[in-house]
């Protein structure tokens, strides 16, 4: 096979493998978000789970909550830290967004950073947006 063709292919391959490196050089890289605790969450300080657990596991918890509420009408979650919460994403003072008031800062920054597009908002609305 033609040697120039092989070298061309090899150069393209090497560039493709190194793309994570040069892509971040030629484009401006967004830094990792620092989620802010605002409003009620700032004073409350106690969430449903521990901080790391919450960061890693909240989607499974929400999934379980959805099934518990929709199938068993069970709307109360008693957390390990002794507090109790309403099993709701956006309804009521005791829900997720009831405490973490700013969806854009609390949910979206990390989701955008990690390229996660949760389908929560296909059905739910952000109460702040309605008002």
Partner 1 sequence: MNQKYLIPLTAVFLLFLVAYTGVEGAGLQWFFGIVFPYVAIIAFLAGFVYKVLGWASSAVPFRIPTTCGQQKSLPWIKQNSIDNPDTSTGVFVRMVLEIFLFRSLFRNTKAAFNRNDSNKLSYSWEIFLWVGALAFHYSFLVVVLRHFRFFTSPVPSCLKWLEYIDGIVQLGLPGIFLSGVVLLAATLYLLARRIFDVKVTYISQAADYFPLFLIIGIAATGLSMRYFTKVDIVSIKTLTMGLATFSPVIPEGVGGLFYAHIFLVSILFAYFPASKLMHMGGIFLSPTRNMANNTRAKRHVNPWNYDVKTHTYPEYEDHFREKMIEAGLPVDKKE
Residue with Cβ nearer partner 1 (22 or 82): 22
Residue with Cβ nearer partner 1 (44 or 64): 64
What DSSP string describes 74-126?
A: --EEE-TTS-EEES-SSSSTTSHHHHS--HIIIIIHHHHHTT---THHHH---
112 binding partner 1? (CB under 8 A): yes
63 binding partner 1? (CB under 8 A): yes
Task: Please report how close the Cβ of residue 92 comes to partner 1 at its closest, in angstroms.
Answer: 21
What are the beta bridge partners of residue 77?
85
In degrees, rounded to 5, the angle at the alpha carbon of residue 38 between the alpha carbons of residues 127 and 43 is: 115
Residues of this chain that interact with partner 1 (CB under 8 A) are 1, 3, 6-7, 9-10, 13-14, 17-21, 23-24, 27, 29-33, 52, 55-57, 59-60, 62-63, 110, 112-119
């Amino acid at each position: 096979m033609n040697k120039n063709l092989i070298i061309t292919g090899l150069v393209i391959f090497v560039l493709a493998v190194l793309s994570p490196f040069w892509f971040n050089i030629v484009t401006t890289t967004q830094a990792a978000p620092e989620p802010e605790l605002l409003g009620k969450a700032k004073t409350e300080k106690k969430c449903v789970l521990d901080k790391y657990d919450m960061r890693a596991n909240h989607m499974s918890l929400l999934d379980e909550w959805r099934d518990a509420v929709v199938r068993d009408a069970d709307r109360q979650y008693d957390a390990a830290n002794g507090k109790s919460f309403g099993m709701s994403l956006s309804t009521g003072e005791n829900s997720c967004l009831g405490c973490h008031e700013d969806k854009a800062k609390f949910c979206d920054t990390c989701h955008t950073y990690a390229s996660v597009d949760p389908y929560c908002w296909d059905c739910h609305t952000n109460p702040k947006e309605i008002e």
